[in-house]
Amino acid sequence: YHPGKANVAADALSRKLGMIAGLKVEEEIIRDLERLGIELYVSGQHGYWASLRIKPGLISRIKEAQKEDNIPVWKWDEISMDFVTGLPQTQRRHDAIWVVVDRLTKSAHFLPIRKDYSVSGLAEIFQQEIVRLHGTPSAIVLDRDP
């Protein structure tokens, strides 16, 4: 960066490119709006929509459809789990990762495990690492691929 007038030419050139890019984007947007049947009146540098209307009943249909959405009400209330296997062994002989994800916040725990751990061993790890920190979840989704 050069202070003062030394940067005038570079600034002017970059503005021209920005203006050209803006014009191309504007043309694409106008074409998309025309394809959707929306009339757009442009005057100078300003534009406004004249024929954008919501069909009767659309908002009530959207609200009705949203009632069916199952959204968790509290973090770590609903979780999903998956296993990443086939990894090289670590010094502690871990060769897999147990991924536990909160479905609301998308925060996750990545737990190093061995693929030969028993179910009771996994339950103990789950108790120590997840339940201890977040409490017992009300729903668990487990996608165990073959």
Instruction: Tally the C-alpha atoms within 13 A of residue 5's C-alpha that lie toward its C-beta.
Output: 0
- Is the distance from CB of 36 to CB of 29 less than 8 angstroms? no
Task: Please state, in angstroms and rounded to a whole number, the distance separating the CA atoms of residues 5 and 3.
Answer: 7
Query: What are the structural domains, with CATH classification, of the chain?
Result: 4-54 (no CATH), 78-142 (3.30.420.10)
Q: Give the other-Cβ count within 10 Å of 144's Cβ.
A: 7
Higher pLDDT, 40 or 76: 76
- pLDDT tens-place string over residues 61-116: 888 888 877 777 789 999 999 999 999 999 999 999 999 999 889 999 999 999 99
